[in-house]
Amino acid sequence: MQIRFLHDPSKDIGFVGCALASTMVRFSKTQDGSWNHEVAISVKSLKVQNWILPEMPGLITDFLISLDDRFLYFSNWLHGDIRQYNIEDPKNPVLTGQIWVGGLFRKGSPVVAVTDDGQPYQSDVPEVQGHRLRGGPQMIQLSLDGKRLYVTNSLFSAWDCQFYPELKEKGSHMLQIDVNSEKGGMAINPNFFVDFEAEPDGPALAHEMRYPGGDCTSDIWI
């Protein structure tokens, strides 16, 4: 879905997010000037019941890198989680945070994930300010200080209607994720919830986000 280089201009290293394969591919320049690549992170497809396929991919739909190049974040739109990896050693990403903000196999859903030994389970998704979280995490945006990660939940209206029909009826929302930018870790901010259901022209599907003064995916900062 995206290609992102490290922000450090002296580093010829970047990552590619592969949506359907649910992998993050690292690429880098070699000493002879050519480029190589390898899978750095792979999200395992889950065995599921009561879904259209016997296995469900994570479907990585967005990712970004913190401005200090220490952390990489991505969203799994179908599974419903956001992940944080420490990439100070780009060859060996380390999972440092994971939160559930939606997804297809959440508690109360007819879809059930199944472990390798046959045990069914569902993810526990909290409410925010009394609101049931809809859909799955899609676009993400990180503040310049790396402490506030924002997330919306609409991918593409046709896909929204197919996988998360509730989005068409009630619209999107935006959440704030509080980030521990020192040690890693994330938590949903319980005091922030932007609801796009009550827009004047009807429920809206929120997608991209930008900071007026710049963010971690901007080309120019004011």
Look at residue 141 in the predicted model and tell me its pLDDT: 95
Residue 94 maps to a domain: yes
What confidence tens digit (pLDDT) does each residue in 90-130 have?
Answer: 999 999 999 999 999 999 999 999 999 999 999 999 999 99
Look at residue 68 in the predicted model and tell me its pLDDT: 92
Segments of the chain assigned E as strands: 3-5, 13-18, 23-29, 35-42, 46-49, 55-56, 60-65, 71-76, 81-86, 94-100, 112-114, 120-121, 140-142, 148-151, 173-179, 186-195
Residue 184 lies in domain: 3-195
Mean pLDDT within 152-159: 94
Look at residue 219 in the predicted model and tell me its pLDDT: 56
Q: Are strands 94-100 and 112-114 parallel, antiparallel or unpaired?
A: unpaired
**DSSP conformation class of 45:** P
Residue 30 maps to a domain: yes
Above 80 in pLDDT, residue 145? yes
Task: Determine the Cα–Cα distance for residues 213 and 118; give it in Å rounded to an integer.
Answer: 49
How many domains does the structure of the chain reveal? 1
List phi, psi (to 5°) of 151: -140, 135
Q: Is the dihedral of CA 32, 91, 102, 200 positive or negative?
A: negative
Residue 9 maps to a domain: yes
Residue 214 maps to a domain: no
Residue 206 maps to a domain: no
What confidence tens digit (pLDDT) does each residue in 164-211 have?
Answer: 999 999 999 999 999 999 999 999 999 999 999 988 888 999 988 888
Identify the three-state secondary structure at position 97.
strand
Above 50 in pLDDT, residue 222? no
Residue among 76, 94, 75, 74 at smallest CA distance from 85: 94
The answer to whether residues 80 and 123 touch, using CB atoms and an 8 Å cutoff, is yes
- In a 13 Å sphere around the CA of 66, the CA atoms on its Cβ side amount to 22
Query: Percentage of the chain with pLDDT > 90?
Result: 86
Provide the CATH number for the domain around residue 166: 2.130.10.10
Above 70 in pLDDT, residue 152? yes
Residue 217 maps to a domain: no
The answer to whether residues 21 and 1 touch, using CB atoms and an 8 Å cutoff, is no
Residue 207 maps to a domain: no
The answer to whether residues 24 and 43 touch, using CB atoms and an 8 Å cutoff, is no
Instruction: Give CA torsion, residues 141, 63, 1, 78, to 10 deg.
Output: -100
The runs of H, that is alpha helices, within the chain are 157-163, 166-170
Residue 55 maps to a domain: yes
List phi, psi (to 5°) of 32: -90, 5
Please give the structure tokens belonging to residue 173: 């929302």
